[in-house]
Structure 1
Amino acid sequence: MGVKIMADYWGQTHKLVSESDVQGIKIKVYNTRPRNLNETLAEAVRRFPDKVALVHEDQQITYKALKAKVNQIAWQLKNTYGIKKGDRVAFLLMNGIPFVAGVYAALQIGAVAVPLNTKLKATELEYMLTNSGAKILIANKEWWPNVEPVRNAIPTEKIFITDEQTPDRTLPFSRLIQGHPGEIEEEQLDEHDSAFIMYTSGTTGKPKGALITHFNMIHTAMNYEHCYNLSSDDSTVIAVPVFHITGLAAQLITFIYLGGKIVLMPMFNPKKFLEILQNEHITHVIASPTVYVMTLMEPDLQDYKIESFRVGGFGGAPMPGETLVGLKKWIPNIELHNTYGLTETTSPAVIMPTEHQMQKISSVGVPTPVTEVKIVNPDTNEEVMLGEVGELVFKGPMVIREYWNNEEATSKAIKDGWFSTGDLAMMDEDGFITIMDRIKDMINRGGEKIYSVEVEDILYANQKIMDAAIVGVPDDKYGEAVKACVVPRAGEELTEKDVQDWVKERLAKYKVPKYVEIMEVLPRNPNGKVIKTQLRYIPKFI
C-alpha cells in the first residue's frame, strides 16, 4: 500500500493468529479453533446446559433443550427421509426456533443448509431450489403461495410446513420432532466441508450461491468475539432477517459459539425492539442503520430503561452522522462498530475499533486480525498508493473458496485466494478503509469521477432525509450527470432546490445533482439493496 501500516488495533489478538497453508493458499488463521459448527453447539451445551439459548416471543429454550430438538430433527432427516452428508436442506423461514433447530440439525448430519429470503417470489425460489438441488424444504405456511406454483418444477422431495394444517403435498414440521430423543451418531466432518449455500443479492443477473464452509463460519464467529470483545455473558437480539449473512453469521452462529442468549424478532418494530433491549437485558446488536434511525425516532425512547446495551454494530449502508451522535447521546458508553463485509467474506472483513468510530466517522474501519487487504487498480491489478482509490480485494479464512456450481463466476471473482469485492475504496495513513462506491456505480461527469457514496453521505446528514441514492444519468454535454433520489422523513417537505443547495454548500459544484427526484420509497431487491438500475432515468417532470 505504499507504506506498511504498523498500528495494531486489536490488542493482543495477534498472538492468537498465525500464517497457515490452507489448500495451497497462505492465509492468517486463529490457531485454536473448533473443528466445525457442531462442536460449537456441543460445547455450549456442555458449559451451559440450563442457560436460556433462544427466546422467541413467549417461548424460551435452553441449550440442553435446543440440542435435544436438533437431535430429533437430525435423526428424522437422516433415517426417515434419507438425507446424507453433502445433501442440501433449504429453509424458507422467518426468525424463529424452527430455523435455528433445523439449520443445526442439517449441519449435524453433514448436510448443507440453504437459507432462502422469505420475500422471494415463485420464479426466484424455483431458480434457487433447482440450482441448489435442495432435497428438503422447511417453510412457514405464509410462503406456500410462492412455492406452490413451482412445486412440480423443483427437485425438492419433501416440504415441511411449520403448521399442523398443511397444504396438499406437504408435511407438518412437527413430524421432524417426533421420536428418537437421544443422541445420533456424529458425522465426521472436516472443517473445510460445506455448511451453507447463501445466495447473493446481485442487482443484475442471476443470484450466485456462495459456498460457505465450517472453517469460514468459525473464523467469522472468532472475528466478532475478538473485535467486538464478546463473551458468553453477552446477549443479542436478531432484529434483521436470520436468512441474511448478518443475522446468520454475525449473530446466530457467533452467539451459539459464545454460548450467549439470542432473542429472535420475527419482524422489526422499534417499540418491541426497545422492550426487548430493556426486558431481556440485551448487550449486543448488529443491524442496518435503518434499525437505529427508527429506534431513535421512537417518541417514547427515553421511557425505556436500557442499562445493558453496550455493543452496537452496523453496516450494509451509510450510517447518518447524526444517528451516531444520537446513539452516543442516548447511551453514552455504547461501543459502536461500523462493520464491512459481504456474503462472500462470511460477514466481517473490516471492523471499526471502538475508540475510533467518532474520529473516523466516514470509514468502515480496519481489517480484522485474520483479514489481508489490498486496494488495486481494477484495470492492472497493481496496488495503488495510500490515499488513492482502487478496488478493494480480500484474502483470509472467512473468504469463500467458490460459488456453487458456477466456475465462471468463481474464476472471475476469486484469484489465488483473493476475492474482488467490486467496491472502490481508499486506505488512509492509519490503515482505515473508506468505501467510495461500487465500480459500476461510479459516475463519470466529463472526466470528473464522482463517487455516489460521498454524495449520499452528505444527503444522509440532512435531518429531513430518510433515504437517498445517487446515480448517473445520460447527459449530452458531459456524458453523465448526477441524479439524486431522496425519500423525506415523515412530515417533512423537500424541493429539488433544497437538495441541490444542501449539497452545493458542502461539495464541489460538479458533484451537485443536476436532477432531484422526491420519492416515497427507493426500489430494493429482496435483500434490501437499492436497485440503482431502476433509477437511472431523467425524471419526466424535468
Structure 2
Amino acid sequence: MYSNSILDQIKADETLGAGNFLYKLRDIVGDVTEQSLFLDTAYVDHTGTARDSLSVEDILTLADGLANWYLEKGVSPKDPVALFFEDSVTYYIHFVALTSIGAIPTHLNPFLKLETAVEFIARTGACIAMVDDAHIALREQAAIPVFALDEIQIPSGDRKKPIYTHHNDDPVMLVHTSGTTGFPKAVRSDHLPMAYGVLKQLKGNVGTRILTALPHSHGSGMTILMSGLLRGAKMLVQTKKQPESMFAAIQKFQADMVIAFPKTFVDMCRFDLTKVDLNCVSYWLAIGDANHEAHVKKLVQFGTHVRKGIEHEGSVFIDNLGSSEISYAAFKKVHSLYETDYGRQVGTTFDWMDVAILDEGGNVLPENEVGYVGIKGPCLTKGYWNNTLLSEKNRLGGYWLSGDLAYKSSDGKYYHMDRVTDRVTTAEGPLYSCFTEELVLANFSDVFECSVVGIHSNDGRQKAVMAIELAKDATETIEKIGERINQLLEDRNVPKIAKFVADDPVNFVGVTGKRLKRVMREEITLDE
C-alpha cells in the first residue's frame, strides 16, 4: 500500500484522471515493477506468452505497444473503438492503450447476442472493432474493420506519440448498460468524472488484498481497478464467478475485500457458508443494485474487521447503490453484525452527490413520499453517446433520473423502493416490487429468493406475479407460503400477489446472467 504522502501527491495532481492515471502513478511513485494484478485467467500477450500476474510497469509496456498498433490502424483522438472479448483483464489493458492516444474504448458486454452487438457498435460510430476467438463471428456482420487479438503485430520501438493530454471533460470510455430495461445504452464517461469518486475515497479504510469479480467490460470494473492500483493494493481479477470458484479464490488469495455485483453474492449464499473458510474477509463491496437483508446477514457473520483501531467480530458489507451513468455510486450503506437498519435503506449520499426525490413535474417531494431519484454531481455522465433525445428524457428539474423510486426519511436516510420500470400498477394501487421482495425475504425463511413483476390483465391494469425460489431446507409448499405472503401484504396495506410460480437460478436470465424482470414479463402469463 502506498504512503499517505504518495496518496496526497496523487490527489493533488489536477491533470490526473481516468485517461492517464496509470502513467501519472508511475511518474509519482517511480518504481512500479512489483506485481500488482493477479489473474485467475492468464493474459496472453502478442508474443503468445501467458501471464498470470502483472505489474503497473507490465501493463504500461503492453499498453504502449498496443497504442502503436492502434495508431498504425489509423485510430486517432476521439475515435470510438469497440472491444468485444470474454470477461478478462484484456478489456483493461486495451482501455489503457486507447486512452493513452486519446481514443475512446467502447466496451461491449461479452454476453451480447451477435445482432445486438452489431447494432450497438453501429450506434456508437466505432471506427474499428477488436475481438477474441469467442467473438470472431462479428467480422461477418459488422460494417467496420474487425481485428482479432491474435492478428496484432506490435511495431518495434518506443511509443510513436506522447501520452495524450486529456481535458477534464474529454470522453475516455463508452460504458455499456446491462440492458435490463431494453436495448443496452452507451454511457459516456469522461476523464475527471470517471475518476472523481475514486480520488475522493482514495484514503478510505478498504482492503489491501482485493478480489474483484465485477464484469471487467463494465465501467465499475475499470474504476475498481483504478482505485486499487492507485492505492497500491494487491488485486485478483476474478473471471470465474461461480460460487465454488469464488470460495477457492478467496481462500487461496486470502482476500480481505471481495467486490462483485449483487448476483455473485446471492449465488454464494445458496451454499452452506459455515463449510467454507471466509475468515480472511473483512469487507464485502456490492456495486449496482441494492442488496437484500437476508443475503447480507449471511455474509457478515464471517471474518473480522477493524473500526477505530479495535477489532470487531464479523465482516462489513458495503452496499453502494449506483448505475452506469454515475461512474461511482450515489448512495452508501454499511452493514455489520451490529447494524439493524435494513428494510431497503440505502443509507446516505456521498458528500459530492446532490440527490433529490422528485415528482413527475420535477418538484422536490416532502420527506417520506415516494418519487423519482434525481442526481447531480461531478461524476455524473453527460448523457448517452449519439442519443441526445434519450439523454434529455432522462433529465428532470435539472437532475439526471437514475431510473429508481425512493423516499427520504425525516432523519436523512434514503429508502429504495423499486426501479421505475418494475413498479406494478394494480387496481388496488402501486406495488413496489423491490420493497415487496425485501418484505418477503425478511419474513419467510423458506424463501431463498423471489422476484415480483407486473403482468397486464384483461382489465387493462397490471397484476402482480411472484416467482419464488425455495430454500434448500424449505418445509412448506409455494402454495402455502403464498397464502401467508398475501396475508402479510394485506396487513401492511400492500396489494396482493395474483399468482405465485416456482423459480430456480437459471429461469428468466438475460444475456448478462442477471435475472431480468423484462424477460419474466414476456414469459409469464396470468390465469384469466
TM-score category of the 2 structures, normalised to the smaller one: 0.7 to 0.9
Which residues of 2 match residues 433-444 of structure 1 at below 5 A?
A: 433-444=414-425
1:270–1:202 CA distance, 2 compared to 1 (3 A): closer
Q: Is the 8 A contact 2:83 2:129 kept in 1?
A: yes
Match for 1:373 among 349, 355, 367? Answer: 355
Name 2:205's counterpart in structure 1: 229
Secondary structure at the aligned position of 1:364 is classed as strand
Match for 2:441 among 437, 450, 460? Answer: 460
Letter of the structure 2 residue corresponding to residue 150 of structure 1: Q
Moved over 6 A (4+): none
Which residues of 2 match residues 313-328 of structure 1 at below 5 A?
A: 313-328=285-300
Note the alpha carbon deviations across 1:221-275, whole angstroms, 9 max, x for none.
235535x534xx72322213111233232x2232233332221122212232223
1:405–1:478 CA distance, 2 compared to 1 (3 A): closer
Structure 1: how far apart are the matches of 2:302 and 2:117?
42
Secondary structure at the aligned position of 2:415 is classed as strand
Distance apart, 1:51 and its partner CA: 2.3
Structure 2: how far apart are the matches of 1:110 and 1:415?
32
Q: RMSD across aligned C-alpha pairs, in angstroms? A: 2.9
Secondary structure at the aligned position of 1:37 is classed as coil
Matched, 1:239 2:213: yes
Q: TM-score scaled by structure 2?
A: 0.84
Distance apart, 1:333 and its partner CA: 3.8
Aligned length: 492
Structure 1: how far apart are the matches of 2:140 and 2:479?
44
Structure 2: how far apart are the matches of 1:221 and 1:123?
35
Secondary structure at the aligned position of 1:83 is classed as coil
Matched, 1:504 2:487: yes
Structure 1: how far apart are the matches of 2:15 and 2:251?
33
Q: Is the 8 A contact 2:290 2:346 kept in 1?
A: no
Matched, 1:532 2:518: yes
Which residues of 2 match residues 83-482 of structure 1 at below 5 A?
A: 83-145=75-137, 147-151=138-142, 154-155=143-144, 157-161=145-149, 163=150, 171=151, 173=152, 175-176=153-154, 179-181=156-158, 184-225=161-202, 229-230=205-206, 234-249=208-223, 251-299=224-272, 302-304=275-277, 306-307=279-280, 309-331=281-303, 332-353=313-334, 358-361=339-342, 362-378=344-360, 380-414=361-395, 418-461=399-442, 462-475=444-457, 479-482=461-464
1:298–1:503 CA distance, 2 compared to 1 (3 A): same
Distance apart, 1:394 and its partner CA: 0.3
Distance apart, 1:72 and its partner CA: 1.0
Q: Is the 8 A contact 1:312 1:336 kept in 2?
A: yes
1:181–1:374 CA distance, 2 compared to 1 (3 A): same
Distance apart, 1:491 and its partner CA: 7.2
Letter of the structure 1 residue corresponding to residue 501 of structure 2: E
Structure 2 gaps of 5+ residues are: 1-7, 43-51, 304-312
Letter of the structure 2 residue corresponding to residue 77 of structure 1: Y
Structure 2: how far apart are the matches of 1:416 and 1:216?
21
Structure 1: how far apart are the matches of 2:121 and 2:425?
39
Distance apart, 1:212 and its partner CA: 0.8
Q: Is the 8 A contact 2:188 2:385 kept in 1?
A: yes
Note the alpha carbon deviations across 1:369-426, whole angstroms, 9 max, x for none.
2100110112x21111111111100000111112111111122113575201221100
Distance apart, 1:321 and its partner CA: 2.0
Letter of the structure 1 residue corresponding to residue 352 of structure 2: V
Structure 1: how far apart are the matches of 2:256 and 2:160?
33
Secondary structure at the aligned position of 1:344 is classed as coil
Note the alpha carbon deviations across 1:478-512, whole angstroms, 9 max, x for none.
93332112233457574233233135236536533
Q: Is the 8 A contact 2:278 2:302 kept in 1?
A: no
1:140–1:293 CA distance, 2 compared to 1 (3 A): same
Match for 1:51 among 34, 40, 62? Answer: 34
Q: Is the 8 A contact 2:37 2:235 kept in 1?
A: yes
1:537–1:400 CA distance, 2 compared to 1 (3 A): same
Q: TM-score scaled by structure 1?
A: 0.82
1:529–1:371 CA distance, 2 compared to 1 (3 A): farther
Structure 2: how far apart are the matches of 1:99 and 1:267?
16
1:431–1:75 CA distance, 2 compared to 1 (3 A): same
Structure 2: how far apart are the matches of 1:101 and 1:478?
51
Name 2:46's counterpart in structure 1: none
Please say which of residues 83-92 and 409-418 is displaced more in the overlay: 409-418
Matched, 1:65 2:50: no
Structure 2: how far apart are the matches of 1:122 and 1:99?
18
Distance apart, 1:86 and its partner CA: 0.5
Letter of the structure 2 residue corresponding to residue 526 of structure 1: V
Structure 1: how far apart are the matches of 2:278 and 2:386?
50
Note the alpha carbon deviations across 1:352-377, whole angstroms, 9 max, x for none.
14679833322112111210011011
Letter of the structure 2 residue corresponding to residue 269 of structure 1: Q
Distance apart, 1:541 and its partner CA: 6.0
Name 1:523's counterpart in structure 2: 508
Matched, 1:513 2:497: yes
Please say which of residues 297-306 and 283-292 is displaced more in the overlay: 297-306
Letter of the structure 1 residue corresponding to residue 60 of structure 2: K
Structure 2: how far apart are the matches of 1:538 and 1:271?
31
Q: Is the 8 A contact 1:271 1:298 kept in 2?
A: no
Distance apart, 1:137 and its partner CA: 2.1
Structure 2: how far apart are the matches of 1:530 and 1:209?
19
Structure of higher RCO (CA pairs closer than 8 Å, 6+ residues apart): 1
Please say which of residues 490-499 and 341-350 is displaced more in the overlay: 490-499
Please say which of residues 400-409 and 502-511 is displaced more in the overlay: 502-511
Distance apart, 1:97 and its partner CA: 3.5
